[in-house]
Amino acid sequence: MNNIRRFLLYALLGIVCFSLWNAWQKDYGAKLEPAKLVAGPEQEVPTVVKPTITTPKEAVPSARIISVRTNVLDVDIDTLGGNVISAKLLKYPLSLKQSDVPIEILSHDPERLYVAESGLIGVRDHKPLQYSSAQKKYSLQTQQKDLSVTLMWHDRKGLSISKTFNFVRDAYVVDINYQLTNKTNDDWSGQFYSQIKRRKPKKNGGFLRLRTYTGAAISSPERPYEKIYYNKMDAKDLGRDIKGGWVAMQQRYFLSAWVPDQTKTHHYYSHVADKDVYTIGMTDAISAAAGQQTQFDAKLYVGPEIEENLAPLAKGLDLTIDYGWLWIISVAVFWLMKHIYNLVGNWGWSIVIVTILIKLIFYKFSESSYRSMAKMRELAPKMKDIRARYADDKAKMSQATMELYKKEKINPLGGCLPQLIQIPFLIAFYYVLIEAVQLRHAPFIFWIHDLSAKDPYFILPILMGICMFLTQRLTPVSPDPTQARIMMFLPVVFAVLFASFPAGLVLYWLVNYLVSGLQQWYIMRKYLRAKQ
C-alpha cells in the first residue's frame, strides 16, 4: 500500500509540475524564430512596405468618431484612417454588478490601447486618410437585417477611395470593402494593410493567468493555429509570406481577428513600439491602372470565442478556444455539455450531469480499482505485521511484501492504474470549464450567480473537502503514520486551494468526489458481501 500511495502522489506531482513548466515556457521560454513560409511559384509576393506604426498619446477627439450600433455590437470608427477604435459587446456585460455596462474589447484609451486598423500604403506618403461620411451615427433598426456604413476620400488628381463597413444582425464579424477608383492618367500601385494594435495588458496574477492565453496568434496551412507570444515579438519582428491565414489578439473568452482573402498570399508582420504596444498584421499588393477601379476586402471579427462564430470564417480560427493539448477530448466534452444545456437550460446542471456520465462510462475501470483497494484493505493487518517484523531491513520488507502480493494474487498497481486512465478526460473537462465563454456570468442555483467566478461564500470548496475526506475514509490507510497524516490533511489543502477557483470548476470536482465516494462505497460493499 505504501508503494501505491507514493505512486499516486508522484503522479499528481508530475501533472502539477508539467502544468507549471508549460506555463513557464509560455511566459519565459526560449524565443525561437519561426520558420519562414515562402509563397508558391504561382504567385509572386512583392517587396513589402510596412505601414508606419504610431502610438496615440491621447484619446481620439469625438469630432472624428462615427458611432455604429447593431443588436450585438457598439462600434466607434475614427474618420482619420477609418479604423475601428472601440468595440463593445452588448450581450456581454462587464460584470454582474454592472449588468447594464457592456464589456469593451477594442478601446482608444491610451492606457489600454487596443484598436483594429486597416488602410492603404502609397497614398499621401503613407499618412492616414481623412475620410468623410454621410452621418455621425448609424443604428441597425428592428426590421433591418444588415447595415452599411461608407466612408469616402478623394484627392484633386482623380484618385478616390470608398471604405464600406458591412454589419449583419447577430454577427460579430464586419465585412470591410474597399473600392479604389483611379481617374488619373497614371497607373497606381500600393499596398493594403490590416493590423491589430494593442498595449500589453497588465498581469493580474493568479492561477487563471497561467492557464489562459493572452497574446497574438496567426494561422498558416502548415500550422492552423500558432501563438505569437509577446516575448517572441520582443525578440524579433515577425516576417512571413502565408497563403490565406489570419491574425488575432486573444484574451480569456474574447478575441479580435483579421481574416483576409484565403486564396491569396499575404505578408504577415509584427512590430513593438514604446516597449509595450504590440502590432500584428498583414499587407497585400494593390494596383489600379489609369482610368480603372479595383476592389479588395477583409473581415474583422470582434467578439466571444464561440466555435459556431469562428469556424466558418477561416480554418483554425476556432482553435483560439484554447483547450490545450487534449483539445480533441475537450471539444467532445463541450459538445455533450452544450446538448445537455439545451435540454436543462442551466450550465451548472449540465456540469453535474456530464460529470456523472463520465464516471458511469468509466465505471468498470473504477470497479476494478475499488475491488483492488478492498483486497488491499483486507491485507492491512498482514502488511502492518510485515512492517513491524522487518522494521530495520527495508530489502526484506519489500521482498516479504511482494511475496504477500503474489500469494494473495494482488497487483499493487491495480488500484491506481484504472484511475490514471481517467485523468486525460478529467483534464480535458477542466480545460472546458476554464475556457468556455458560455459559463461566463452563468448562474447555477441559490448563491452561485456566476460559474466563472469563485464561490462568494466558499460553500462548494468546503463541501468538496468534506466529500474528499469521507472518500478517503473508505480507502485503505497507509501503515506509514506520516503518510497517513499527510493524506488526511489533503482535503483541507485542496479546499483552501480551490476556494479561489471558478465555481464551475469546484462544482465539477465536488460532484466527481461525491460520485467516486458513492461508487467506492457500493463496489467495496458488494465485494465484502461476495466474500461472506
pLDDT value, residue 461:
94
Identify whether the C-beta of residue 461 lies closer than 8 Å to the C-beta of residue 498. Answer: yes
pLDDT value, residue 513:
87
Distance between CA atoms of 115 and 221, rounded to whole angstroms? 27
Residue 416 banded pLDDT, cuts 50, 70, 90: low
pTM: 0.83
Residue 164 banded pLDDT, cuts 50, 70, 90: very high
pLDDT value, residue 14:
46
CA 312 vs CA 93, 293, 327, 405, 447: distances in Å = 26, 30, 19, 57, 38
List the one residue out of 181, 176, 171 whose CA is nearest residue 149: 176
Residue 417 banded pLDDT, cuts 50, 70, 90: low
Identify whether the C-beta of residue 300 lies closer than 8 Å to the C-beta of residue 258. Answer: yes
- 38-317 is a CATH 3.40.50.970 domain: no
Percentage of the chain beyond pLDDT 90 is 58
Distance between CA atoms of 301 and 164, rounded to whole angstroms? 15
pLDDT, tens digit (0-9, with 9 covering 90-100), for 504-530: 999 999 998 899 888 888 887 877 777
Q: Which amino acid is at 465?
A: G
The kind and range of the H/E element at 65 are strand 65-69
Cα-Cα end-to-end distance for the chain? 24
pLDDT, tens digit (0-9, with 9 covering 90-100), for 231-277: 999 999 999 999 999 999 999 999 999 999 999 999 999 999 988 99
Percentage of the chain beyond pLDDT 70 is 84
The structural domains of the chain, with segments of one domain joined by +, span 38-317, 330-531
Distance between CA atoms of 102 and 94, rounded to whole angstroms? 5
pLDDT value, residue 163:
97
Set of cell numbers at residue 175: 465585412
Mean pLDDT of the chain: 85
Question: Scanning the structure block, which residue is given the C-alpha cell 484504472?
Answer: 418
Distance between CA atoms of 254 and 320, rounded to whole angstroms? 9
Q: What is the mean pLDDT of residues 353-378?
A: 81
Q: Kind of pairing, strands 239-243 and 265-273?
A: antiparallel
Q: What is the mean pLDDT of residues 216-226?
A: 96
Least confident of 51-65, 284-298, 342-356, 406-420: 406-420
Distance between CA atoms of 206 and 187, rounded to whole angstroms? 56
pLDDT value, residue 327:
87
412 vs 258, residue with greater confidence: 258
Set of cell numbers at residue 323: 483547450
pLDDT value, residue 427:
84
DSSP line for 310-333: HTTTSTTGGGGS--GGGHHHHHHH
Q: What is the mean pLDDT of residues 6-31?
A: 42
CA 20 vs CA 15, 16, 193, 473: distances in Å = 9, 6, 38, 31
List the one residue out of 174, 208, 192, 26 whose CA is nearest residue 106: 174
Sign of the dihedral defined by the CA atoms of residues 404, 406, 412, 414, in that order: negative
Asked if residue 532 has pLDDT above 80, the reply is no
Identify whether the C-beta of residue 113 lies closer than 8 Å to the C-beta of residue 107. Answer: yes
Identify whether the C-beta of residue 483 lies closer than 8 Å to the C-beta of residue 477. Answer: no
Highest mean pLDDT among 18-27, 255-264, 394-403: 255-264
Identify whether the C-beta of residue 301 lies closer than 8 Å to the C-beta of residue 180. Answer: no
Q: What is the mean pLDDT of residues 339-346?
A: 97
- How many beta carbons lie within 10 A of that of residue 116, not counting itself? 27
Distance between CA atoms of 183 and 293, rounded to whole angstroms? 9
Sign of the dihedral defined by the CA atoms of residues 279, 281, 285, 290, in that order: negative
Beta-bridge partner residues of 301: 173, 257
Identify whether the C-beta of residue 279 lies closer than 8 Å to the C-beta of residue 273. Answer: yes
List the one residue out of 424, 151, 112 whose CA is nearest residue 277: 112
Distance between CA atoms of 51 and 218, rounded to whole angstroms? 19
Question: Residue 257 half-sphere exposure, CB side, CA atoms within 13 Å?
Answer: 31
pLDDT value, residue 340:
97
Distance between CA atoms of 214 and 255, rounded to whole angstroms? 9
pLDDT value, residue 225:
96
340 vs 493, residue with greater confidence: 340
Q: What is the mean pLDDT of residues 155-166?
A: 93
Distance between CA atoms of 126 and 122, rounded to whole angstroms? 5
- How many beta carbons lie within 10 A of that of residue 250, not counting itself? 20
Least confident of 236-250, 411-425, 494-508: 411-425
